[in-house]
């Protein structure tokens, strides 16, 4: 089963408060090595973008007004993630929005059994420490120079690098073009250490442990 690294950007913190998705990005990998397949869409939320959200991702209401709405991209999105493991940092946040959008369209929500929350993995490995994506990048000396604002596609690549380090595996570097919506080309190089592939049994065992030992929070 291939993996998907997924991230979203939104108009706010909670779908229940009326906020919506403005960007979805997914990078497909096989044994954590990019396949070159990418799903990336900017979404018209059909609502205003608060100043606080604009400061985070830089997408204005005017800019997003010309983009497709979620219902126009949902089939392509669901097809892209079908039958794949999904790795998300702070999964409850992104899943809350995705499930909310899917629910409005009377579509089946995302299967949580295939989701791995990298925040839970990080908390298990570094209990008590800051485990935000930025903090983990700094801990693993991952380059953040291109991250002027939050960008879902760039954050997927950063998450992939972080997750590999969390598994104590070597990060295979590749170049990612972020200026094309819907597609991109990846080149794998400098891969010189074995990637650790975790089994479904190991994932379930880990998730059961985390749920019993750690409290979730949402940052």
Kindly report, residue by residue over 95-129, the tens digit of the pLDDT: 999 999 999 999 999 999 999 999 999 999 999 99
The yes-or-no answer on residue 150 being catalytic is yes
Q: How confident is the model at residue 132 (pLDDT cuts 50, 70, 90)?
A: very high
Q: How confident is the model at residue 182 (pLDDT cuts 50, 70, 90)?
A: very low
For the segment 55-96, what is each residue's pLDDT rounded down to a tens digit? Answer: 999 999 999 999 999 999 999 999 999 999 999 999 999 999
Token output for 48: 């205003």
The residue annotated as part of the active site, out of 19, 57, 89, 150, is: 150
% of the chain residues with pLDDT over 90:
72
Q: How confident is the model at residue 219 (pLDDT cuts 50, 70, 90)?
A: very low
pLDDT of 6: 98
DSSP at 110: P
- Which three-class secondary structure state does DSSP give residue 199? coil
pLDDT of 86: 98
Q: Which domains does the chain have, with CATH numbers?
A: 3-213 (3.30.420.10)
Decide which of 1 and 219 is more confident. Answer: 1
For the segment 138-148, what is each residue's pLDDT rounded down to a tens digit? Answer: 999 999 988 76
Q: How confident is the model at residue 206 (pLDDT cuts 50, 70, 90)?
A: low
Q: Is the pLDDT of residue 209 over 60?
A: no
One DSSP character per residue, 91-147 reads: HHHHHHHHHHHHHHTT-PPP-GGGEEEHHHHHHHHSTTS--SHHHHHHHTT---TT-
Edge-first strand order for the sheet with 3-10 is 33-42, 21-30, 3-10, 85-88, 115-117
pLDDT of 145: 84
Q: Is the pLDDT of residue 18 over 80?
A: yes
pLDDT of 205: 54
Q: How confident is the model at residue 45 (pLDDT cuts 50, 70, 90)?
A: very high
**Could you give the count of Cα atoms lying within 13 Å of 88 in the half-sphere of its Cβ?**
27
Residue pair 163/5 in contact by the 8 Å Cβ criterion: yes
Question: What is the rounded average pLDDT for all residues in the chain?
Answer: 84
């Amino acid at each position: 089963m291939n993996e998907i690294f997924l991230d979203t950007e939104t108009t706010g913190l909670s779908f229940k408060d009326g906020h919506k998705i403005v960007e979805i990005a997914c990078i497909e990998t096989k044994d954590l090595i990019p396949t070159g397949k990418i799903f990336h869409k900017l979404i018209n939320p059909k609502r205003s973008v608060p100043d606080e959200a604009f400061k985070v991702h830089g997408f204005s209401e005017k800019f997003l007004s010309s983009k497709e709405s979620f219902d126009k991209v949902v089939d392509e999105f669901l097809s892209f993630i079908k039958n794949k493991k999904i790795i998300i940092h702070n999964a409850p946040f992104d899943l809350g929005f995705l499930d909310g959008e899917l629910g409005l369209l009377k579509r089946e929500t995302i299967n949580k059994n295939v989701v791995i929350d990298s925040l839970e993995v990080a908390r298990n490995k570094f209990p008590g420490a800051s485990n935000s994506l930025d903090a983990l990048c700094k801990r693993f000396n991952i380059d953040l120079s291109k991250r002027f604002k939050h960008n879902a596609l760039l954050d997927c690549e950063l998450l992939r690098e972080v997750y590999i380090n969390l598994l104590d595996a070597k990060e295979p570097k590749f170049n990612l073009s972020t200026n094309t919506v819907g597609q991109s080309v990846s080149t794998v190089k400098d891969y010189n250490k074995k990637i650790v592939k975790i089994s479904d049994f190991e994932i379930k065992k880990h998730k059961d442990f985390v749920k019993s030992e750690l409290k979730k929070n949402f940052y």
